[in-house]
Chain A
Amino acid sequence: MSVDVVVSEDDLAEMVEQVWLSYLDPEGVSPLVPTGDHGQPSEVHSSVSISGTWTGHVVYASSTAAARRAAAAFLAMDAAEVGPEDLSDVLGELANIVGGNVKALLPPGCLLSLPQVVLAPESATRYPNADRVGGLYAVWDGEPVSISMWQSRDVKNKEANA
């Protein structure tokens, strides 16, 4: 069965909105505002891999300030108290939550990896043989936050020829 991208930017926006309302912005006063700017900078990122009927990566990236603020909200602490371990844990969990929700929208038979966290810009990580096939690019109180999906080219080509 050929499986193309079935998770739209609107789907991603809906998932992220739930994360924000549940943990990061329960009052609904600081939502993510989409910019559509694929070139917006990031300083930290995390990802999960999905393999199966759809194979690729889901990447969460943001500025350090946005990650610090997310960690403070998740851990109910002051942003100034957030350490590198807190940042890593929260970034990993954000990738895990979004990746898990993405997986739920894909055809059955996919496996989700544990999250990988890199406290460096998204451009520091390469996804060989994978193309960016969609994403949500937004700002959170002026700080960049993005979720992008990268589909493995080999699988895509194989499916296209099937």
Chain B
Amino acid sequence: MKILIADDSRVMRQIVSRTLRQAGFGDHDLVEAADGREALDKATAEAPDLVISDWNMPELSGVEVLRKLRSAGNDVKFGFVTSECTPEMQQQAEAAGAAFFIVKPFTADRFGEVFSPILG
């Protein structure tokens, strides 16, 4: 499967990649985006099977990316890895069609719990 990791922090993209490997999902094809606009473009052009997105990014926020994808008819499995975890944000994420919400800091166990049903 192809996974798009969208985060404006290079460090966090690397940590997400590493944690995916630690959680046993190292065999998947990983693609990266460094801001919301690039995430939207790559979610369309690369046709990933899963998008793991930060919330707070330059150009477009993660939830704006998700809304734009859905309004364009793109049903890619999409969720958030973010340091922000207020109930209002979780509601916005769910309303926009997010499949998961992971709060930073996270562990490989948390990734396993969330991604096992999605990635197998």
Residues of A near any B CB (own CB < 8 A): 18-19, 21-23, 71, 74-76, 86, 89-90, 92-93, 96-101, 103-104, 108-110, 112, 114
Query: CA separation between A114 and B36, bound complex, in Å?
Result: 13
Interface residues of B in 46-99 (CB under 8 A from A): 56-58, 82-88
| Stretch of B12-20, B23-31, B112-120 with 4 or more beta carbons under 8 angstroms from chain A | B12-20
A109 partner residues in chain B, CB cutoff 8 A: 88
Choose among B8, B11, B15, B85 the residue that contacts A100 (Cβ–Cβ < 8 A).
B85
Query: CA separation between A89 and B15, bound complex, in Å?
Result: 12
Give chain B's interface residue range (CB within 8 Å of chain A): 20 to 34
B83 partner residues in chain A, CB cutoff 8 A: 96-101, 112
Query: CA separation between A75 and B12, bound complex, in Å?
Result: 9
Q: How many A-B residue pairs have CB under 8 A?
A: 62
Choose among A23, A74, A100 the residue that contacts B82 (Cβ–Cβ < 8 A).
A100
Besides A100-B103, A114-B57, 11 new A-B residue pairs in contact (Cβ under 8 A), listed by A number: A21-B105, A23-B15, A74-B15, A93-B12, A98-B83, A100-B85, A101-B85, A104-B86, A104-B103, A110-B86, A114-B8
**Is the CB of B44 closer than 8 A to any CB of chain A?**
no
Query: CA separation between A97 and B15, bound complex, in Å?
Result: 13
Are A19 and B105 interface neighbours, CB within 8 A?
Answer: yes
Are A22 and B107 interface neighbours, CB within 8 A?
Answer: yes
B14 partner residues in chain A, CB cutoff 8 A: 74-76
Are A103 and B15 interface neighbours, CB within 8 A?
Answer: no
Are A89 and B11 interface neighbours, CB within 8 A?
Answer: yes
Query: CA separation between A71 and B12, bound complex, in Å?
Result: 11
